[in-house]
Amino acid sequence: MAVVIPDETLYAAHLTATELKQELAVLLFEQDRLTLMQAAALAEMQPIPFQHLLASRNISPHYDVLEFQQDIATLKQLEML
């Protein structure tokens, strides 16, 4: 699914497209709507730098067994394993 954000909106928010993706990923992760791996993928970042981004905002990497299992499933779908 493609989402189109007008350039004027990005300009008004003082964000680049990359920064907007990162903001959305952080928000969805913080709300427990995405796992760490899913949020990092949305932010177009590797997991460790994404964790650093979370840490810079004092957001803990809430990570439990279910999220671990979901991340394994996601990785398998992405053929990274």
pLDDT digits (tens, 9 = 90+) for 23-76: 999 999 999 999 899 999 999 999 999 999 999 999 988 777 887 888 888 888
Whether residue 3 is contained in a domain is answered as: no
Is residue 6 included in any domain, yes or no?
Answer: no
Domain of 59? 14-77
Say if 39 falls within a structural domain: yes
Q: In this structure, is residue 7 part of a structural domain? A: no
The pLDDT value recorded for residue 80 is: 59
Helix/strand/coil (H, E, C) string of 18-62?
A: HHHHHHHHHHHHHCCCCCHHHHHHHCCCCHHHHHHHHHHCCCCCC
Is residue 24 in some structural domain?
A: yes
Distance, CA of 23 to chain centre: 8
pTM: 0.73
Name the domain count of the chain.
Answer: 1
Residue 8 located in a structural domain: no
∠ CA(10), CA(13), CA(18), 5° rounding? 50
